[in-house]
Structure 1
């Protein structure tokens, strides 16, 4: 949603106006405020309503994180298997 809004804001501008519009969004203070707004919105939507969704977010987030951490090792293992299979017949 935020990207769609940013794109629609930029779409109507001239090329020379875009850096002046985007540059303030890249400051540390702007990023901190954006993160704080996101956390406030999350708190209002899920925590204050006693929703079970944060438990699901943690569980699925943990699963995705563990998959991404294990992925390089699995790729090395599969490449080693492929290499062994290709060179076993010589």
Structure 2
């Protein structure tokens, strides 16, 4: 939703005006404020309402993270298995 707002605002600008619009958004203060606002919104939406959604977010996020961490090792394993097949060994 926020990206849609940014794109709609940029769409009406000239190319020379875009860097001056985007540059303040890349400052540390702006990023910290946006992150804090996101945490506050998450707290009011899920934590304060005693929702089970945060538990799902932790479980699925942990599952996705563990998959991404193990992915390079699995790729090496599959390449190692594929190597003998390419060279005629069983």
- Shorter-chain TM-score category? over 0.9
Q: Which residue of 1 aligns with 2:84?
A: 84
Q: How does 1:18-57 map to 2 (within 5 A)?
A: 18-57=18-57
Moved over 4 A (4+): none
How far the C-alpha of 1:16 sits from its partner, in A, is 0.5
How far the C-alpha of 1:3 sits from its partner, in A, is 1.2
How far the C-alpha of 1:88 sits from its partner, in A, is 3.1
Q: Which residue of 1 aligns with 2:13?
A: 13
Q: Which runs of 5+ in 2 are unaligned?
A: none
Asked whether 1:70 is paired with 2:76, we answer: no
Measure the CA separation in 1 of the matches of 2:27 and 2:3: 17
Per the alignment, in what secondary structure is the counterpart of residue 49 of structure 1?
A: coil
